[in-house]
């Protein structure tokens, strides 16, 4: 049984600090170790069968095949499909494969086509030591960058066929199998082959590189688009594009030869002389492996007669291979968008001297706590995650010679479902604010008043229902606040915020200034009369040994503390009272003596007062946004991530917190912080397993 999610989250963060998830030390997808599994098969002389992504209908997924066709599917190893199977034959090429006609994953294969131009990147995704010869046992692996970390994906080589033929991607050389195996590995990380249905090249390109991508809408046609594409090709970027959707979702072929609603690879950017004049050309590749543009500069166009014989020989191919040239003007007219994906966005200004420094931050919007919606929602926008950025200065060459952008901010949604098709994405966007002098000493989240009086200095134009949005801008030295958000409030989703800067930049999450010890706390004080009343209360509920157990504490809280509450309460549960006793019990007897009981009563009465002061709408419950203020009023500063956990743990299905739950959770936070301060050495705790269990089982 895997550990609880909070434990796994801490483990992943620690692994990240240790370099796990980097390209050099990829994480193990679904906890499968390729080398161990392969050695197991070699030792036992068996062929590997993946029980996580087995050769059955579940791995194909729903909606691709009819029940009758599904029954015809036979999973075969390559040796049963072709004679002398090989992993790679004569290197990688976009012409190695053709798309199957069942799953609409042209976006994936167009990205693979772009990847074949950058073999140094492709070899990171496709380990080359694999073959069907030495030590073959039916197991292969591939590496993909998935939402902030590289993962090694293990598969068996059982492939779905009908009548002995592959039903998904196929190689034009029948015995070459790297495309089909790579497609299977990517289907595994998506959830199934059906989960690869429909997508954008930017998604797969990001998963192949772990880099950054920028998508340009061709209807807007940026004035320097040609220069950007030319430089992107020079800097070895991956590029893909798409055509507008037709009248239906089907990939119908237009009279000009282009497929509607289809992804293509940009394979060349060329300026050529035609009759003494320069012409800007774009070369494109159809991942079907056939079907080409029929207009000017197509394979059989007479325009090629206007160039020199040397250029015609070098650039023109008249084979029916799915690749063709067209002018930049026709490209912008017939395609809807173009995506550039690269490890480093030097192509933006053509300046490779300046260094783009990346910073990555995991975050989460949680309904009621940190999902504040866009800036139109003034009352809640401030609750969104906030990132403080300090720009010290610019690289000298860059600042003196360039007037271009120096900051690229990318916001990527992370899925909360294993199957790609089940992921519910939200409309997302980014706002950047300059921090004025009076707020530079601010600790913790900036309040709503800040956003009432400060307008964004940069923001995404639209909120998009996309996996990733980006904001490219130029910021002068100073301090800024970056606020990623969904469009609507109370939309729960996880994200990765990537910040690339050409300036010296320092970044931290603005809500992570968690410091329970230094924050001024409210200290309950008793006058003589109050002390006498509490002692009387203790004697009323204590036993003959002058002690109070959990059941007696429960009665005292229900009958005295909740007395006069305007709203009906459920009362304190016996389990929560046992927890309170354990937290305050210094003698480990399971009971509270007079001093312990009085200390507890001071705290719970103080927390009760804070609760009702924070319950501004007099509902008898705290909303998640009110909860933040109430906890801070109790003397505890907490991060967004901890607030989210508290809301999930104590808020129930409604997300609202009752008085009883509030008192229990704040007391637990207060006492656990006390335990940490007593046991920590240099800011960290080191416990033996029996010590850990000793604390956790009686708290």
Active site residues: 106, 262, 286
Token pair, residue 601, equals 């009563």
Question: Residue 348 in contact with residue 465, Cβ under 8 Å?
Answer: no
Name the 3-class secondary structure at 473. Answer: strand
Distance (Å, rounded) from C-alpha 578 to C-alpha 583?
9
Q: Cα separation of 185 and 108, whole Å?
A: 12
> Measured between alpha carbons, how far is 159 from 497 in angstroms, rounded to an integer?
37
**Alpha helices (runs of H) in 341-470, residue ranges in sequence order:** 396-401, 448-453
Give every CB contact of residue 571 below 8 A, 6+ residues apart in sequence. 554, 557, 558, 562, 660
Cα separation, 158 vs 161, whole angstroms: 9
Q: Is the Cβ–Cβ distance between 486 and 372 less than 8 Å? A: no
Secondary structure of residue 271 in the 3-state scheme: strand
Other beta carbons within 10 angstroms of residue 16's beta carbon come to 16
Question: What's the rounded Cα separation, in Å, for the pair 453 and 409?
Answer: 23
- Give the SS3 label for residue 41: helix
The residues that bridge with 282 in the sheet, in sequence order, are 269, 326
Which residues neighbour 693 within 8 Å (Cβ) at sequence distance 6 or greater? none
How distant, in Å, are the alpha carbons of 10, 377, 380, 558 from that of 564?
Answer: 43, 36, 32, 11
Please tell me the total number of residues recorded for the chain in this structure: 699
Compute the C-alpha angle 165/168/172, nearest 5°: 65
Structure tokens that stand for 96 in this block: 């190695």
**Calpha distance 650→658 (Å, rounded):** 9
Q: By C-alpha distance, which of 675, 501, 679 is closest to 586?
A: 675
- Please state, in angstroms and rounded to a whole number, the distance separating the CA atoms of residues 520 and 527: 22
Tell me the HSE value of 91 on the side-chain side, using a 13 A CA sphere: 8
Q: How many CB atoms lie within 10 A of CB 221?
A: 14
């Amino acid at each position: 049984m895997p550990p609880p999610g909070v434990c796994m989250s801490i483990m992943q963060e620690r692994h990240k600090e240790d370099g796990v998830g980097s390209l050099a030390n990829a994480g193990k997808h679904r906890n499968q170790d390729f080398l161990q599994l392969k050695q197991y098969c070699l030792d036992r002389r068996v062929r590997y069968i993946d029980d996580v992504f087995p050769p059955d209908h579940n791995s194909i997924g729903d909606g691709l095949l009819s029940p009758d066709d599904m029954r015809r599917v036979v999973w075969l190893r390559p040796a049963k499909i072709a004679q002398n199977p090989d992993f790679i034959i004569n290197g990688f090429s976009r012409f190695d494969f053709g798309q199957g006609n069942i799953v609409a994953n042209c976006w994936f294969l167009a990205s693979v086509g772009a990847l074949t131009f950058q073999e140094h990147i492709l070899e990171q995704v496709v380990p080359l030591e694999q073959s069907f010869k030495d030590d073959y046992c039916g197991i292969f692996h591939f590496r993909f960058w998935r939402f902030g970390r590289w993962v090694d994906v293990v598969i068996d080589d059982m492939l779905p066929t009908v009548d002995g033929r592959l039903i998904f991607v196929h190689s034009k050389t029948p015995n070459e199998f790297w495309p089909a195996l790579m497609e299977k590995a990517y289907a595994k990380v998506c959830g199934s082959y059906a989960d690869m249905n429909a997508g954008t090249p930017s998604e797969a390109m990001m998963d192949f590189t772990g880099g950054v991508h920028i998508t340009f809408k061709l209807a807007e046609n940026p004035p320097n688009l040609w220069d950007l594409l030319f430089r992107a090709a020079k800097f070895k970027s991956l590029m893909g594009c798409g055509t507008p959707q037709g009248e239906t979702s089907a990939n119908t072929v237009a009279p000009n030869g282009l497929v509607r609603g289809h992804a293509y690879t940009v394979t060349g950017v060329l300026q050529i002389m035609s009759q003494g004049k320069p012409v800007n050309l774009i070369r494109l590749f159809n991942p079907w492996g056939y079907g080409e543009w029929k207009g000017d500069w197509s394979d059989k166009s007479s325009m090629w007669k206007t160039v020199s014989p040397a250029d015609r020989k070098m650039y023109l191919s008249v084979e029916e291979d799915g690749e063709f040239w067209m002018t930049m003007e026709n490209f912008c007219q017939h395609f809807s968008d173009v995506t550039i994906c690269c490890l480093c966005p030097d192509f933006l200004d053509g300046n490779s001297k300046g260094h783009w420094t990346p910073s990555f931050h995991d975050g989460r919007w949680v309904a009621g706590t940190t999902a504040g919606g866009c800036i139109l929602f003034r009352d809640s926008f401030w609750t969104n995650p906030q990132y403080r950025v300090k720009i010290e200065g610019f690289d000298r060459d860059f600042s003196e010679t360039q007037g271009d952008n120096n900051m690229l901010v990318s916001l990527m949604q992370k899925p909360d479902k294993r199957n790609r098709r089940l992921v519910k994405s939200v409309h997302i966007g980014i706002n950047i604010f300059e921090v004025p002098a009076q707020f530079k000493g601010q600790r913790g989240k900036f309040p709503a008043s800040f956003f009432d009086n400060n307008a964004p200095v940069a923001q995404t134009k639209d909120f998009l229902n996309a996996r990733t949005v980006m904001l490219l801008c130029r910021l002068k030295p100073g301090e800024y606040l970056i606020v990623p958000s969904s469009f609507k409030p109370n939309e729960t989703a996880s994200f990765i915020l990537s910040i690339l800067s050409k300036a010296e930049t320092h970044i931290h999450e603005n809500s992570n200034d968690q410091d329970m010890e230094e924050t001024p706390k409210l200290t309950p004080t008793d006058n003589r009369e109050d002390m006498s009343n509490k002692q009387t209360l203790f004697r009323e509920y204590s036993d003959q040994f002058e002690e109070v157990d959990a059941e007696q504490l429960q009665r005292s809280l229900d009958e005295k503390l909740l007395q006069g509450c305007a709203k009906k309460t459920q009362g304190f549960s016996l389990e929560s009272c046992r927890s309170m006793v354990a937290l305050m019990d210094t003698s480990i007897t399971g009971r509270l003596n007079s001093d312990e009981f009085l200390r507890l009563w001071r705290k719970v009465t103080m927390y009760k007062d804070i609760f009702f002061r924070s319950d501004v709408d007099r509902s008898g419950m705290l909303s998640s946004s009110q909860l933040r203020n109430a906890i801070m009023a109790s003397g505890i500063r907490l991060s967004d991530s901890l607030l989210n956990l508290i809301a999930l743990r104590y808020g129930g299905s409604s997300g609202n917190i009752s008085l009883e739950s509030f008192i229990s959770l704040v007391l637990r936070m207060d006492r656990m912080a006390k335990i940490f301060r007593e046991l920590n050495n240099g800011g960290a705790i080191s416990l033996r397993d029996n010590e850990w269990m000793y604390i956790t089982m009686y708290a």
